[in-house]
Amino acid sequence: MRALVTGGAGFVGTNVADRLLRDGHEVVVLDNLSRVGVRDNLQWLRGHHPQRLRVVRGDVRDAVVVREALQGVDQVFHFAAQVAVTTSVDDPRHDFAVNLGGTLNLLEEARRLPTPPALLFTSTNKVYGGLDDVTIEKADGRYVPADTRYRRHGIGEDRRLDFCSPYGCSKGGADQYVIDYAKSYGLRTVVFRMSCIYGQHQQGNEDQGWVAHFVKQALAGEPITLYGDGRQVRDVLYVDDLIEAMLAAMGRIDEFAGRAFNIGGGPDNTVSLLELLDLIGQLCGEVPQVDVGDWRVGDQRWYVSDTRAFQQATGWSTTVDVAEGVQRLYLWLQSAAAGQPALSATEAH
C-alpha cells in the first residue's frame, strides 16, 4: 500500500508515517516545513526509514503539488492545517485558505483520479462550539457538567454543530466538505472530530498542543500561563491509541464512508489544566511556576468525547491512561531537551 500523509512532518503525521513504514507500506509525506520542529521530525523519519519514504515539500493550497503527491496513492491521511484558534483570530484569511481551501484542493484532486484513494480527515471538537448551553459546575479543582449523561459519556456525534472562532469555521467547513464528497461523489472519506492528542514528536506551544507545551516549559524551568482559572477539562488521547483508531477506520472505510466520529480519550481519560500541573510536578519534583491570563476566544470550559459509536463499530479502546501517557511524553521531551537521540515509538514506551 502507498499512503499520502499531508502535514506528514508534524506531530500526528510523523507518528502515522512511522507506523505505516514500520508495517511495510510506502509513504509519501507532503509538508511545507513551516512549523517549528517539523524539520527535526522529518530528519528522524528519514533516519529511521531510508526506504519506502518519499517527501514532497509543498503546500496543500497548491493544487499542482497536491496532484503530484497523490500519484499512485491508495490512502490519504489529511493532517495539514493551520492548527491554532489564536492564529485564526489574528489572520482568518490565512486560516480559511489553508484549512478549507487546502482541503477542497485535496478532495478535488482525489476526485479526478480514476480510482480515488480512501481519505481520513482530522477535524476538531471546536465544531461543537463553546457548549454554552451545557450547565457547568465546579468540583474538586475542575469543571464538570451538571447533566449526568454528559458526565458519564461525554459529547456525542448527535450534538448540533456550532462553529466557533475562525478556526472552528474553517475546520468545520472542511469537515462538512469531506463528508459531502462521500455523498455527492462517492469518495471513501471519514472524519475524526478530535479532542486533545499528545505524545512523542509533539512540539507543543502556547497556542496548540498544550500538554506538550506544559511539559516543555516545566523541563526548561519556565513559567506556564493558564488562560482562565485552570479548571478547564479535556479528554486526552495518547497518539499511539489514535493511530490504532485511524488504522481501524481505514480498514473499514467502505462501511464508514461519509461518517464523522468523535475521537478522544473519553470519560476515562480526562484531566484539568490544574491536574496536569500536579502530574508534571510529580515528575519534575516541584510544581511548575504559573502565570494567569484572561480567558481566550472559543475556549470550552469542559469538553469530553463520547467515543462509544466508534468503539461499538470497531472494538477500539484506549490503552494508555493519562498518568502513563504524560510520563511517556515527559521522558521523550526530556531526552530531546538533553540532545540525546530521539526514541522510536516502541522505545518511548
Determine the residue type at 148: T
Q: Where are the beta strands (DSSP E) in the chain?
A: 2-6, 26-31, 53-57, 75-78, 118-124, 136-139, 142-145, 189-194, 196-198, 224-227, 233-238, 259-263, 270-272, 290-293, 302-303
Which residues is 339 bridged to in the sheet?
Answer: none
Nearest to 319, CA basis, from 277, 250, 263, 268: 268
Query: Does 143 participate in catalysis according to the annotation?
Result: no
Determine the residue type at 173: G
DSSP SS3 for 56 = strand
Angle at the Cα of 141 (from 287 to 298), degrees rounded to 5? 95
Q: Single out the catalytic residue among 167, 177, 198, 330.
A: 167
Can you read off the three cell numbers belonging to residue 187? 469518495
Residues catalogued as catalytic: 167
